[in-house]
Structure 1
Amino acid sequence: MNKKMFPKIYYYDQDFIDIYNKSLSWIQDKVILQKVADRGKKDKNYYSENCDYIDQMQACMSSFFLVYSNGEYSSTSAIDKFYQLQEESGAIRARYDNNNAVIDLDENEENIGFPIFAWAEYNLYHKTGNKKRISEVLPILDKYYKWIESKFLKENGLYSIDVNKIFYKNSPRADAYYPIDFNSLQVHSAYCISKLADILNDKNLSLEYKKRFFSLKVKINSLMWSEKDGFYYDLDVNENILEIKTIVGFFPMLSEIPSEDRIERMIFYLKSNNHFGTPNPFPTLSVSEPGFSEDGNGYYGSVYTYMNFFVIKGLEYCGRANIAREFTIRHLYYILDTLMPFNKIKGHIWEAYKPMQEGPAYFDFNKKIYTEKGLICYLALFSISLMIENIIGLTISLPDKTVYWNIPTLEIMGIESLSLKKNQTTIICNKGKRGWEIKMESEKLYYFTINILNKKEKTLPIPSGRCSMLLDKL
């Protein structure tokens, strides 16, 4: 595979470079070509873990790393397949087969998936700067949101859905009637739709979704937060808090719902080895809960990589980039230890891992059934997306023509051939004879903001061509 499809990364730990490069080759095996009707047009490709069906969660999540493929792989075509199948009611189902028929999922009457389309589109806009796409997808997102609203919004202003049957098999949340995760993802959708409407200067739609966002935010903060515990919980059918600490209690951070004081109280649980700060972070159930299992046992303690992605991004959005980086590195090391164990026997990529040691988690410990094997999509969220954005520390916004680099430590790191639309950019931090310096190469002007060790931040215009700057001089 030509690795120049994706940027080349520089990092002081070769194992991280290796898993990044391996992920690139594994992705190639998951990209499916579909023939297009017009001759002369390039065949479109889309990402799918399974040749027999497309999955909404994987379609949305894959966009977070395919967007770095320099246009070689489409980050939108898998999502577009779902948009094309939207029903008149606004419904979009979680899975479709190759004949575009809905795949019925056990006990999921509406065949609904997590409401994350709007989040994926908001991220894509900042990575691609494609304003035209927003005008095309915004009506779809609006209809989809309102369909969910019509089906699952209750009179108290919260959403009710049986997540235990629909999303999480073998979970300790049997009594959850108002789930904190679904409400958090739906409020994040409202937040993203309002931002996308702002980009198009659609003031009416923006105001409409700002109202939805603030209304649901208030409900989550007033009904689902425990001031006593400093944690967000599910509610039962009578709106009573269910005091079971699960990883989804951190999902409100995605839309910056908690205040600064609440964020600090929540982070305590992420750091505590009595709760979610296990050697391999983060278990789906707190260590302090009676049902916690060191073997995983589904959502009784397994470390699900895709759920970690939600938490890491929540920390980042709440201004906790350094903590997010620390947890990203820790989880990635456990993925590496499971893939390349000390006994030299080749390992595998898994959907979930054990919280206390390397190795795959059990989905059902009693039946000795492991979680799913070989899911590259969720690995690539860490080994590509978070590798670039949280470990190396680069945040890109093409509409703003800006690259933000949070340099957490003075080590060799950087990126080569990063595509900023039609601008190939290289940014590398290295130690030369004159000290630590950043070498840059760009085809066009952009603005570069650098945060050095969380002590000093500076924004500079970077001209086309090559240049370098000494960190001591900044």
Structure 2
Amino acid sequence: MLNAQMPERTPGNIAKYKELCRAHIYKDMKGMYREAGGALVFPFLAPGSNQYLDMLWDWDSWLSNIALRQILLENGTEKDKQEALKYEQGCILNSLHYGGMDGWIPIWIERNAPSREEMLKTRNPWKSNMHKPTLAQHAAFIVRNMNGDAEWLRDDFYTLQAFVCKYLNFHRHKATGLFYWETDEAIGVDNDPSTFYRPQGSSGSIFLNALMYRELQAMAYLAGCLNLDDIAVSFEKEAAVLKGKVQEHCWDPRDRFYYSVDLNLLPVEKPDIKGLYPGQLFLHVGQPRDYDCLIQRLSVWSGFMAMWAEIATPEQAKEIVRIHFHDTCSFNAPAGIRTLSPLEKMYNVRASGNPSSWQGPVWINVNYLVFRGLVKYGFTEEARELAEKTILLLGRDYERFGALHEYYLPDNGEPVLNKGFQNWNLLVLNMAAWLDGKPFVTEF
């Protein structure tokens, strides 16, 4: 429907679609539960829809769990909450079951997946991507909900440390201190142009570094819960260092935004003077580069992740919101946050499943993470606007199709792909609870 429009943002519509979302989500909640079997030796949470029916995904399970706890807070019995725990913990334990001393953990695990050893026969774990740095955050979220009880994790905590330390030791750029994707495979924001088709090891992604900062903080928390105080201090120090590096290299004072950076620079080397003749010049030796990366001025939504992670200073956050959040020609759309500004040449909202389309369409996890950043820095009216747009978008989807979809067109909210997708879409309830002034569940 080319002339379709988002519902008008009125109190009546917001109340109507809020209740419609709640009714459907309460009813469908257990659609994300999966029992143990095959390669997945613990129960777990799955995103839903036929495409992702029986798979454990890294950051999907983390954000789904945050939504699940909101559902249980609003509509769950004590029995329901206890039942959910095995599926929550199983997400962590299944991933750690595929871990090892080298730290590599796969991004997703299917029920019929081969063993870890078989997987590693077809890939170099040092030159390929792995589970995004959300595993410790997910574990910390569960532990916090258990009032700090991390004993269920103690036997596998070394494997979790090995995972995080693999990022620290093997996926960090020495000169800048920033973390980078090895390739553009399964980075979560699939065809983000700051990484998509870029040379190997060149993308100092702001998305990745924001996640990594919070992952290090989560590791410090978990170590503290296990009385591993020296380990906790070491992760706290790593987090503080990374925050400074992101502020130094990824903040652009010209555009007042956080960007990914290009690490693909030729090395500065001393010239070889063998065979030097009088008058012969060596290029660059008079003043070689004194910078370690280049800002990628691509208007990608992940610049807002610096607010979600609380890396941005209050002054920077104010500029990000003033210039970028409010710009309806760029990120701010009727359905929420465009994943890529339409001012970029790569802007494209057509349906794509592999890679998923992150070059413009609205994703609910993006709406949620930007919303959380706004709340953290006190931008209440902007957070309200984004929460209300998300409620109208998903409420109308339920009204028309009886289900949600994976992503949406920014200007009219038309669903694009994968009817039945649940996953992080259910975070609309967390946003609705915040709007109502009720208790709402947040990520660690």
Q: CA deviation at 1:322?
A: 4.9
Distance in 1 between residues matched to 2:21 and 2:147, nearest whole Å: 29
Equivalent position SS for 1:352: coil
Distance in 2 between residues matched to 1:44 and 1:116, nearest whole Å: 19
Which deviations, in whole Å up to 9, do the C-alpha atoms of 1:389-412 show, x marking residues without a partner? 555442469xxxxxxxxxxxxxxx
Task: Give unpaired runs (5+ residues) of structure 1.
Answer: 1-10, 36-42, 362-370, 398-474
User: CA contact under 8 A between 1:254 and 1:317: conserved in structure 2?
Assistant: yes
Question: Residue 388 of structure 1 is aligned with which of 408, 433, 441?
Answer: 433
Q: CA deviation at 1:283?
A: 0.6
Distance in 2 between residues matched to 1:390 and 1:201, nearest whole Å: 38
Over aligned residues, Cα RMSD in angstroms? Answer: 3.2
Q: How many residues of Structure 1 are paired with residues of Structure 2 in the alignment?
A: 368
2:245 maps to amino acid: K
Q: CA deviation at 1:191?
A: 1.7
User: CA contact under 8 A between 1:255 and 1:317: conserved in structure 2?
Assistant: no
Aligned residue in 1 for 2:245: 219
Question: Residue 99 of structure 2 is aligned with which of 62, 86, 96?
Answer: 86
Equivalent position SS for 1:303: coil
**Does structure 1 residue 231 correspond to structure 2 residue 244?**
no
Question: Residue 251 of structure 1 is aligned with which of 284, 302, 305?
Answer: 305
Structure 2 CA distance for partners of 1:117 and 1:388, relative to 1, 3 Å: farther
Question: Residue 192 of structure 2 is aligned with which of 131, 147, 171?
Answer: 171
User: CA contact under 8 A between 2:128 and 2:183: conserved in structure 1?
Assistant: no
Distance in 2 between residues matched to 1:158 and 1:193, nearest whole Å: 18
User: CA contact under 8 A between 1:127 and 1:396: conserved in structure 2?
Assistant: no
2:341 maps to amino acid: S
Over the matched positions of the two proteins, sequence identity in percent amounts to: 17
Distance in 2 between residues matched to 1:309 and 1:61, nearest whole Å: 10
Aligned residue in 1 for 2:140: 122
Please identify, of 179-188 and 57-66, the stretch whose mean Cα deviation from structure 2 is larger: 57-66
Distance in 1 between residues matched to 2:171 and 2:42, nearest whole Å: 35
Q: CA deviation at 1:286?
A: 1.7
Equivalent position SS for 2:34: strand
**Does structure 1 residue 376 correspond to structure 2 residue 402?**
no
Aligned residue in 2 for 1:60: 62
User: CA contact under 8 A between 1:53 and 1:95: conserved in structure 2?
Assistant: yes
Aligned residue in 2 for 1:16: 18
- Report the TM-score when normalising by structure 1: 0.69
Q: CA deviation at 1:247?
A: 0.5
Which deviations, in whole Å up to 9, do the C-alpha atoms of 1:75-123 show, x marking residues without a partner? 2222221122222212221122224535799999635132111222232
Say which structure is richer in helix. 2
User: CA contact under 8 A between 1:163 and 1:179: conserved in structure 2?
Assistant: no
**Does structure 1 residue 300 correspond to structure 2 residue 359?**
yes
User: CA contact under 8 A between 2:300 and 2:339: conserved in structure 1?
Assistant: yes
Which deviations, in whole Å up to 9, do the C-alpha atoms of 1:105-162 show, x marking residues without a partner? 9999635132111222232233331423476264343221002223311212111215
Mapping 1:147-226, distance limit 5 Å: 147-156=166-175, 157-162=177-182, 164-167=184-187, 168-173=189-194, 174=196, 175=198, 177-226=203-252
Q: CA deviation at 1:196?
A: 3.1
Equivalent position SS for 1:394: coil
Please identify, of 71-80 and 252-261, the stretch whose mean Cα deviation from structure 2 is larger: 71-80
Distance in 2 between residues matched to 1:295 and 1:99, nearest whole Å: 31
**Does structure 1 residue 46 correspond to structure 2 residue 47?**
no
2:193 maps to amino acid: P
Structure 2 CA distance for partners of 1:349 and 1:135, relative to 1, 3 Å: closer
Equivalent position SS for 2:137: helix
1:148 maps to amino acid: Y
Point out which structure has higher relative CO (alpha carbons under 8 A, 6+ apart): 2
Q: CA deviation at 1:206?
A: 2.0
Structure 2 CA distance for partners of 1:159 and 1:44, relative to 1, 3 Å: closer
Which deviations, in whole Å up to 9, do the C-alpha atoms of 1:337-363 show, x marking residues without a partner? 23324xxxx3641111111112124xx
